[in-house]
Chain A
Amino acid sequence: MADKNPNSSNNAKGKENISPAKRIDNPSVPSETPIENLVAYLDQELSAEEIEEVELQLGKNPVLRKEVNSLKQAWDLLDFLPLPEPSPEFAAKTISQSKHDMGVEPPHQENQEKLTTSKLTNSSKTSEVADLSHATNSAEIPTLVNQYRSSMALAIYKKNSSAIIWGGIMVIAVLFGWIMEPFLKSYHHPQDNRSAEAKKQNEEIAFTEKDLRLLERLKYYRYIDDIEFLQALAKPELFGE
């Protein structure tokens, strides 16, 4: 790497106030130029005015020229410093680590084809599943795979939740049927009702007949004080009609 050209003036920087403490700490160098400015001069980091000032000093002062040259030589020695190359597997290791850290598996060509095919054949899922017809651009594949997975998970969840709802409805229906069974039975068999009414009517008739007989014989019963005797009179087998 070649050293930068100190004569260039198109890299002007703003002038800075340099404290006297920063000036060259060497009595043998009768210069007003601080060493920071000499280094900045070599690095082309001075303004045009500062360059002019430094060059004026360098022209007058051989000790300062030595100073600049020694700084430049020491800097140039760094060119002998080799920049070590990374190991051959460094790039592959870094790239695989990045995929591992992000939890993204690179989709294989087969998977890509499968996904694309599934999109084309199953048009009913277009609203839920990621648009895989654009999967020709391999950049989109990891995103599309994730979208596909999430949409499939959503579909399975939806499917399961509707099954649970339908199951609940069935259970409620069975319970309702069990509770309503007697009512429904009577509603669906009206002849049973009629027979019950007839039976009741017969009972009433029978009761009336019994009362009638009691009323007819009331004049006899009125003089009887004993209830047991009275009950015995009601028995036709003992006293006849």
Chain B
Amino acid sequence: MAIGETSAQMAIRDPDVRLMLRIREDDPKAFPELVERYQSRLVGVLHHLIGNLDEAEDLAQEVFLRVYKTRKNYTPTAKFSTWLFTIANNLALNVLRQKSRRPSLTIPNSEKQSGESSPDYLVPSREGTPSTALKTAELSDRIHAALNQLNDRQRMAVLLNKFEEMGYAEIADVMQLSIKAVKSLLSRARCRLRELLQDYIAPDERTTSASSSHSAPSSHSSMADSSEDLDEES
């Protein structure tokens, strides 16, 4: 960073910030360009967070509409994606909170869904490593199910880190947490994922700590994670 360079000047170099400034100036071509640029990333992350493509699309649309409505107040102070995902994070966590308050009964209508809800979804393969034994689609289903075992904030942190390649500081900005809390959140999330995906890790790399915790009920672990995360945040 050059001496005396402000965060606003840094932000201006971000092409997405420049695009957002065009939206602020009511350039009619700019907003469609932004939607085109971010729709896959946003819907993808929200789909893994919410677990339903239709709801993810509705939420992503709401995020874009918020961006458009507040365009006149936009000030480039950070990377544009940080701002966009901050809006997405707030809206998504609100939706998830509402869903948890009003749990709805979902009837599985496909083999895929029933597989996800099955308690023994992590069936170890008998044919060597999972990558060779299972089809990619099946493996992705198992991984998706494992991701859903994480609590909402762990899942969001993982998705931002993995798919948006955000660093801890940026995730902290998006999720309004300290860097230390993000470090802890991701550490717990990755340990939990390792625990859930133990059967797909090469046997010689399996750790005793992960194996011993694999048999623990997942819901209990998830709840423990949630309470620990809340402690860290406070």
Contacts and interface: CB of A to CB of B under 8 A. Distances in A.
A45 B32 contact: no
Chain B contact residues, majority secondary structure: helix
Contact of A81 (B36, B143, B190): B143
Contacts of B180: 16
A90 B43 contact: yes
Contacts of B65: 94, 97-98, 101
Nearest to B39: A86
B39 A39 contact: no
B209 A77 contact: no
Interface residues of B, number: 61
A83 interface: yes
Interface stretch (A25-33, A51-59, A232-240): A25-33
B164 to A, nearest CB: 11
B27 A24 contact: no
B156 to A, nearest CB: 14
Interface residues of A, number: 51
Contacts, number: 152
B53 A84 contact: yes
B119 interface: no
Contact of A39 (B60, B187, B201, B207): B187
A118 interface: no
A82 B162 CA distance: 12
B23 to A, nearest CB: 10
Contacts of A28: 208-209
B233 to A, nearest CB: 15
A140 B69 CA distance: 18
A170 B183 CA distance: 83
Nearest to B140: A80
B116 to A, nearest CB: 13
Contacts of A82: 140
Chain A contact residues, majority secondary structure: helix
Contacts of B27: 139
Interface string B184-195: 101100110110
B68 A63 contact: no
B161 interface: yes
A81 B28 contact: no
Contacts of B48: 81, 83
Contacts of B209: 24-26, 28-29, 67
Nearest to B201: A73
B43 A77 contact: no
Given A35-B187, A75-B162, A75-B190, A84 B200 contact: no
A228 interface: no
B26 A143 contact: yes
B174 interface: no
A13 B194 contact: no
Contacts of A80: 136, 139-140, 143
Interface of B: 25-29, 31-32, 35-36, 39-41, 43-45, 47-48, 53, 56-57, 60-61, 64-65, 68-69, 136, 139-140, 143-144, 147, 158, 161-163, 165, 167-169, 179-180, 183-184, 186-187, 190-191, 193-194, 197, 200-202, 204-210
Given A70-B194, A86-B60, A94-B65, 13 more contacts: A1-B165, A13-B169, A40-B168, A40-B183, A70-B205, A70-B206, A77-B197, A80-B136, A81-B48, A81-B140, A83-B44, A97-B65, A139-B28
